[in-house]
């Protein structure tokens, strides 16, 4: 199926997007490739003056049998993938010669890189329409900020999970955009509540243009949106005509389920690595896969799967909806840095699609071990008590510990029955004991300036519940265990349990 012309969602564009005229210089850039034209049009330096050539880089080689984190110096020659990059020639299929990647041009991203990403996408998504494409980005932080620029004006409203990634919320706030919270439970956004909010939206108030969601390994809650809820949410997006922005940095950090019983766990973990087919089948269904309108924009990133400093990711969506992103890029980043496009393209093409899946499975293995380590430690050190709830995540980098603040002995006397005061005091106390976890309060999605909506939308199960977000990603297992021990000791002391 090809999307009808009308599905460009241009009625949701920002004033800025509507006013953005293509640079006249872009109208002649196609002549740059015309062999009959001597192109004196653009300020392109000769690649002769680019000072770099003969790049060589080592990476581990698929199938990464010693694990993806094994030091390269300890691998045998067969286990190392040598990337050679030249200025003017392709050494290997998929290479982007430096003379091209380091030149101006290709705002959408270099063709070889995009080609790999498109093939990868086909393995992951069950696309319902044909005219989709990808645009290379400088990572999801930038891609999200650009999404706001493309669609939203000052005073517009967007939707986001009731707790969401603070930096993304702050970007909207700075632009004068109001974020309205959508209730979530341990399976993510609750469709019925989302629908009720929109069905009862204050007449005349600006309706939300976007739903910002992190469906897999949500930040900060560590939960994943249940697959069966996705078509429901998509239907609501159709009914109320908003776009779904699927922010997916943690998508490939989906883990095996946490198993507390060590004997049972040993059985599962001892299984041989599953086939690519089983691995792919095990992954969350994506919003892109249920999108029949071209109203889903998915943000992917290499930050969590290769390296954050790559500042490289991609947007997937309908060809129509990607156009204003490319126009914006032409005036901002132009394109992701050429060097990293060359390095990533060369590495991935040498690994191949299959080798890249090996890498992603290796990542899953590592994160499963680290998650297990964290949750084991939490179970060991956090008070065994209904007031403390440990949430073992199945994806992402984060776990949360929920606490009923009203069980603090000084809840009324010292903290005026204010759970936020308990949360803040605990945060400080925990730091003084030598571990940092982040208060849930930092992630609250607030929609202060929106006209009042049905009270149901902001209800909480227990108003005295607070939580802390921690990560098992950033430190070694030993440090992780020691850190959670310190957290547990502080809670024991504070809550007298």
Interaction residues for a second copy, span 91-120 (CB under 8 A): 98, 101-104
- Residue 38 as a binder of a second copy (CB under 8 A): the answer is yes
Q: Tell me whether residue 80 or residue 456 sits nearer to a second copy (CB atom).
A: 80
Among 2, 10, 131, 154, binds a second copy (CB under 8 A): 154
- Residue 191 as a binder of a second copy (CB under 8 A): the answer is no
Coil, helix or strand for 240? helix
Q: What are phi and psi of 200, to 5 degrees?
A: -105, 15
Cβ 314 to a second copy shortest distance, Å: 15
Cα–Cα–Cα angle for 201, 205, 210, rounded to 5 degrees: 75
- Cβ partners under 8 Å of residue 419, min gap 6: 405, 406, 463, 464, 465, 466
Among 369, 482, 489, 492, binds a second copy (CB under 8 A): 482
Q: Tell me whether residue 189 or residue 340 sits nearer to a second copy (CB atom).
A: 340
Cβ 267 to a second copy shortest distance, Å: 26
Of the chain, the end-to-end C-alpha distance in Å amounts to 61
Among 470, 491, 494, 495, binds a second copy (CB under 8 A): 470
- Cβ partners under 8 Å of residue 478, min gap 6: none
- Residue 310 as a binder of a second copy (CB under 8 A): the answer is yes
- Residue 451 as a binder of a second copy (CB under 8 A): the answer is no
Question: Could you give the CA distance from residue 189 to residue 182 in angstroms, rounded to a whole number?
Answer: 7
Supply the Cα-derived Rg of the chain in whole angstroms: 24
Longest dimension (CA), the chain: 84
- Residue 300 as a binder of a second copy (CB under 8 A): the answer is no
- Residue 407 as a binder of a second copy (CB under 8 A): the answer is no
User: How many other CB atoms are found less than 10 A from the CB of residue 195?
Assistant: 16
Among 46, 89, 281, 455, binds a second copy (CB under 8 A): 46
- Residue 50 as a binder of a second copy (CB under 8 A): the answer is yes
Among 382, 480, 491, 495, binds a second copy (CB under 8 A): 480
Cis amide leading into 101 (omega within 30): no
Q: Tell me whether residue 144 or residue 258 sits nearer to a second copy (CB atom).
A: 144
Q: Which region among 53-61, 192-200, 381-389, 446-454 touches a second copy (by CB under 8 A)?
A: 53-61
Among 2, 10, 39, 186, binds a second copy (CB under 8 A): 39
* Closest to 198 measured CA to CA, from 182, 187, 214, 219: 182
Q: Tell me whether residue 318 or residue 341 sits nearer to a second copy (CB atom).
A: 341
Cβ 297 to a second copy shortest distance, Å: 17
- Cβ partners under 8 Å of residue 473, min gap 6: 367, 370, 397
């Amino acid at each position: 199926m090809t999307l009808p012309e009308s599905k460009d969602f241009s009625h949701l564009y920002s004033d800025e997007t509507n006013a953005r005229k293509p640079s006249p210089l872009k109208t002649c850039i196609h002549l740059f490739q015309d062999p009959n034209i001597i192109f004196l049009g653009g300020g392109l330096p000769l690649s002769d003056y680019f000072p770099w050539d003969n790049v060589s880089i080592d990476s581990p080689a698929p199938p990464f049998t010693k694990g993806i984190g094994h030091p390269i110096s300890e691998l045998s020659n067969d286990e190392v993938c040598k990337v050679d990059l030249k200025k003017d020639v392709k050494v290997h299929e998929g290479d982007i010669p430096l003379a091209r990647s380091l030149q101006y041009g290709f705002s959408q991203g270099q063709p070889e890189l995009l080609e790999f990403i498109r093939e990868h996408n086909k393995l992951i998504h069950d696309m319902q329409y044909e005219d989709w494409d990808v645009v290379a980005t400088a990572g999801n932080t930038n891609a999200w900020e650009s999404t706001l620029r493309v669609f939203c004006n000052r005073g517009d409203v967007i939707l986001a999970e009731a707790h969401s990634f603070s930096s993304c919320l702050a970007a909207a706030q700075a632009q004068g955009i109001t974020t309205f919270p959508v209730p979530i439970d341990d399976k993510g956004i609750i469709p019925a509540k989302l629908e009720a909010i929109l069905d009862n939206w204050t007449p005349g108030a600006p309706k939300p243009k976007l739903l910002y969601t992190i469906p897999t390994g949500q930040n900060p809650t560590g939960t994943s949106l249940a697959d069966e809820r996705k078509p429901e949410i998509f239907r609501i997006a159709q009914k109320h005509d908003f776009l779904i922005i699927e922010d997916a940095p943690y998508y490939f950090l989906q883990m095996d389920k946490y198993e507390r019983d060590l004997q049972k766990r040993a059985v599962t973990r001892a299984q041989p690595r599953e086939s690519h087919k089983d691995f792919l089948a095990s992954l969350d269904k994506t919003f892109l896969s249920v999108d029949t309108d071209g109203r889903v924009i998915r943000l992917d990133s290499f930050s969590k799967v290769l390296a954050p400093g790559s500042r490289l990711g991609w947007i997937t969506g309908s060809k129509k909806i990607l156009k204003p992103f490319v126009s914006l890029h032409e005036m901002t980043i132009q394109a992701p840095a050429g060097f990293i496009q060359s390095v990533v393209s060369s590495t991935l093409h040498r690994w191949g699609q299959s080798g890249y899946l090996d890498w992603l499975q290796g990542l899953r293995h590592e994160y499963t071990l680290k998650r297990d380590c964290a949750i084991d430690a939490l179970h060991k050190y956090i008070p065994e008590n209904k007031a403390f709830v440990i949430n073992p995540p199945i994806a992402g980098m984060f776990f949360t510990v929920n606490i009923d603040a009203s069980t603090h002995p000084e809840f009324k006397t010292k903290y005026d029955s204010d759970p936020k005061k308990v949360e803040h005091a605990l945060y400080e106390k925990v730091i003084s004991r030598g571990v940092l976890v982040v208060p849930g309060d930092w992630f609250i999605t607030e929609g202060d300036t929106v006209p009042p909506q049905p009270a149901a939308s902001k209800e909480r199960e227990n108003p005295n519940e607070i939580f802390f977000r921690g990560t098992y990603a950033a430190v070694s297992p030993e440090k992780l265990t020691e850190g959670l021990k310190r957290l547990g000791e502080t809670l024991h002391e504070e809550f007298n349990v």
